[in-house]
Structure 1
Amino acid sequence: MRSVAEHQAVVAGLLAPAPVEEVPLPQARGRVLGADLTASIALPPFDNSAMDGYAVRAADVAGATEGDPVVLPVAADIPAGRTDVPPLEPGTAHRIMTGAPMPVGADAVVQVEFTDGGVDRVQIRHAPAAGTHVRTIGEDVPPGTVVLRAGTVLGAPQIGLAAAVGSATVPVRRPPHVLVLSTGSELVAPGTPLQPGQIYESNGPMLAAAVQDAGGHAELLRFVPDDVEAFTTVLQERIAEGVDLVLTSGGVSAGAYEVVKDGLTGRGVQFVRVAMQPGGPQGAGRLEIEGPGAGLPVVTLPGNPVSTQVSFEVFVRPALRAALGHPYPRRPSVTATLGERLTSPAGKRQFRRGILDAVDGTVREVGSPASHLLGALARADCLIVLPEDVTAAEVGDEVEVWLLDG
């Protein structure tokens, strides 16, 4: 029996770092930066006003007070965006707006609230020090600075920064193209009438969504029948068009109609049992076939819905995110206090669905350990991890908890 850590290493080793591609900045949200981004300009790119008010020489208004204002002629208006800014002569002021370039000769801005707002002449009732309300060139980012490191996940602030330094495109990791296959002759599409013995297919949509959430691109190929020849034919036809990973669910146990196991045994995919619950039967490897698709990574997951999703969380999600260069490929984990007694089989790492109380830091199981209870999984916001050497965890014990919304 393979340990969880051993199988994690096997799956992680299948996926090479994703290639880097340039994408337009508006399409980069949520993507992972594939190379350092360097500023070719300074931020701010020029000295500018931090306030609406009047650009002045601090020495000209040094004695200004509320009761004894300094009166200066207003020589020019400088709105934001003006490019032909005249110099400021001694003994004058320029009316200036936030973000507008500071005129040569000015070294301070008096905000409009400390003036009478004059257009031709202005009464200034405050004596600012030199540099007051002036944003200096490069004070945020000097030119040549690495503003975003490779591995950064691009959210709104990062996209804003890239735009501010003039990047129309950014280098990001290309999402791995994952072919998701669900096998089982009993599966039918949701929305169609069920016949006796049939069930609605849920693993495929669930895994496709999980792949997308991890940063990959999912292609769902549904309703592959429990027929080895049909399965291998469909698989080879599709992978000839190019994918980065094949992800299957079902058909990997010890039954008589285990189509995935029967079709891929001897073709580079190794089927093992992993010391975990749920999700014991697993498979992983590289396809040994002739022609297109040779060497393609394949990960096979068990078919019970909870086993499928937990296996994805434990093995596939961190491997996909590592290939994308995520700085934190694993789910965030915390230590929580157990709110109820739990038992676990010796020698197996259990992943129990749980709900974490953020107020008191306690965690309780939702549902039961059974691997078919998808409703409980949908209500869970975390996984409670019970190590292989733990057979019973008592109320008040501290346990590791994986946060599913992080």
Structure 2
Amino acid sequence: MNSIGALIARDDALDILLAGLQITPISQQPPDEAIGRISAGLIASSPLPAKSVAITDGWAVRALDLVGASAYSPALLMKPPRWVESGEFLPDECDTVIESAWLDQKDGIFQIVSEPRPGEGTRPVGAEISADFVVLRAGQKVRSIHSLIATQLGLRSLSVRAPRLQIINVSGGGDQSFTAQYIAEDAARAGAVVTRVDVANTTIAIASAMGATEAHLIVTMGGTGFGKTDVTIDSLRSMDIPVAHGIAITPGRTAAIGRKGDTPIIALPGDLEGALGTWLAVGLPLLDRLTGGERLLELRPIRRKISSAVGVAEVVLLATQSGEWLPLAVGELPLWALSQADAWMLVPAESEGFRAGELCQAHRFGDEK
């Protein structure tokens, strides 16, 4: 059975895990499969549309040929115009689509009885996307609209960064399987390619799973407490993996960190509260480094005072109310608060909290919730 010593500060734990950690190499994925991944950037190499497109059914003409046309002085066309349907490219010499009522045909002579505006009835070249337009910044999440644009640009793949994350779920019963699933889904939403293996809570089983993985980030789940069957920390140490057990985060104090060579390891408690607290404070920043992802902060005044103990970083759940952050829970993540929370923030270990009305930065749960 492991024992816990002095708690390591959250920032120190992050520094250890981030030291020398490189951003994941770029990989190519088909546009539809890249949705949800973190982009390495995309700049349009050509405009959309590449040619003028009709946005209404009608006759394709050149506006310059119809200057001054009216019912009293119709413009005569030298050759019959071409009929186009909405969505069709215009003939090269045409720049305008006119309604059928504007054309009078008699004895093979085509007359236009109204003067159109150049470009009327069309979507001109580059109206959707201009050449060199930044469709995706590096670090942005690929959404369905980006996949659509890439397809219309004729791209067969998108450049993304998709780090491999291995979850080793040390069987502990209760709700731990749900906790592992929750963290796995959250990591996938943050851009990771997640695999999960469930193992017995034995040193041999944990060591075997640890040795078999080639992930960019390893997360163990469960077995970090002080029970007689909590063997995860001792298992890691038996593999000569340096481990710092006990992080000054609430909730999540029994979590641990380590490194298998250059690969960071986070050992999460088996309960959702402790696992999620550590994951938000330590796991997501690691994924951000691996993916190059952008995690935006939102600034709002705090609706009421937050008190926090110095020396321990505390996770705070927040709801939005009348343009302010309303604290729901400090240092704990009960299910009722998780169900109502819009955002979360971390009170630094050196802070005693925030006074009412103070501007505070928080992360929207959004895709992470």
Bin for the TM-score computed over the shorter chain: 0.7 to 0.9
- Which residue of 2 is the match for residue 380 of structure 1? 341
* Native 8 Å contact 2:207 2:235 kept in 1: no
Aligned partner of 2:319 in structure 1 is 355
Q: Distance in 2 between matches of 1:331 and 1:110?
A: 44
Is residue 56 of structure 1 aligned with residue 61 of structure 2? yes
Mapped partners of 1:105, 1:344: distance in 2: 71
Q: Relative to 1, partners in 2 of residues 1:200 and 1:320: Cα closer, same or farther, differing over 3 Å?
A: closer
CA contact (8 A) 1:15 1:320 kept: no
Match of 1:27 in 2: 33
AA paired with 2:313? R
| Conserved 8 A contact 1:334-1:402 | no
- Name 1:282's counterpart in structure 2: 255
User: Paired residue for 1:365, among 328, 349, 352?
Assistant: 328
In the alignment, which residue of structure 2 is the partner of 1:323? 290
Alignment partner for residue 302 of structure 2, among 321, 329, 337?
A: 337
**Partner residue, 1:404:** 365
Matches within 5 A, 1:19-98: 19-34=25-40, 36=42, 39=45, 41-65=46-70, 67-68=71-72, 70=74, 72=76, 90=78, 92-98=80-86
CA distance in structure 2 between the aligned counterparts of 1:118 and 1:239, rounded to whole angstroms: 81
C-alpha distance after superposition, 1:209-242 (max 9, x if no partner):
22222222333333632xxxx2343432464254
C-alpha distance in structure 2 between counterparts of 1:121 and 1:29, whole Å: 54
SS at match of 2:337: helix
Cα deviation for residue 264 of structure 1 reads 1.5
Flag the 1:69–1:317 CA change in 2: closer, same or farther, 3 A: farther
CA distance in 2, matches of 1:37, 1:297: 33
Work out the CA distance in 2 between the residues paired with 1:369 and 1:99.
56
Per-residue deviation, residues 99-120 of structure 1 (Å, max 9, x unmatched): 43433544x4242176258696
Shift of 1:176: 1.3
Distance 1:208 1:116, change over 3 A: same
| 278-287 vs 154-163, which moves further | 278-287
Q: Which has the higher contact order (CA 8 A, sep 6+)?
A: 2
The 1:169/1:123 distance shift into structure 2, 3 A limit, reads same
1:338: Cα distance to partner? 2.3
Q: How far apart are 1:278 and its partner, in Å?
A: 1.8
Work out which of the two has the higher radius of gyration on C-alpha atoms and give 1 or 2. Answer: 1
Structure 2 counterpart of 1:167, one-letter code:
L
CA displacement at 1:59 relative to structure 2: 4.3
Partner of 1:338, secondary structure, is coil
- CA offsets, 1:342-390, max 9 Å, x none? 4321222221223222x34241314x6446x344334423224433344
Separation in 2, partners of 1:273, 1:216: 26
Q: For residue 162 of structure 2, what is the aligned residue in structure 1?
A: 174
Question: Which residue of the partner structure matches residue 212 of structure 1?
Answer: 188
In structure 2, the residue matched to 1:85 is none
Asked whether the 8 Å contact 2:52–2:90 carries over to 1, the reply is yes
Structure 2: segments with no counterpart, 5+ residues: 1-6
RMSD after superposition: 3.5
* Aligned equivalent of 1:115: 102
Say if 1:356 and 1:118 are closer, same or farther in 2 by CA, change over 3 A. farther
Q: Which residue pairs with 2:17 in the alignment? A: 11
**Partner of 1:345: helix, strand, or coil?**
coil
Structure 1 CA distance, aligned partners of 2:10 and 2:87? Answer: 56
Deviations 1:113-167 (A, max 9, x none): 7625869665534213545555555566676877545444221221122112211
- Equivalent in the alignment of 1:259: 231
Most deviating of 264-273 and 131-140: 131-140
- Tell me if structure 1 keeps the 8 A contact 2:249–2:277: no
1:53 and 1:148, CA in 2 relative to 1: closer, same or farther beyond 3 A? same
Q: Report how far residue 312 of structure 1 moved.
A: 0.5
Shift of 1:271: 1.3
CA contact (8 A) 2:268 2:278 kept: yes
Shift in CA distance, 50/259, structure 1 to aligned 2, threshold 3 Å: same
CA contact (8 A) 2:249 2:278 kept: no
AA aligned to 1:281 is T
The TM-score normalised by the length of structure 2 is 0.80
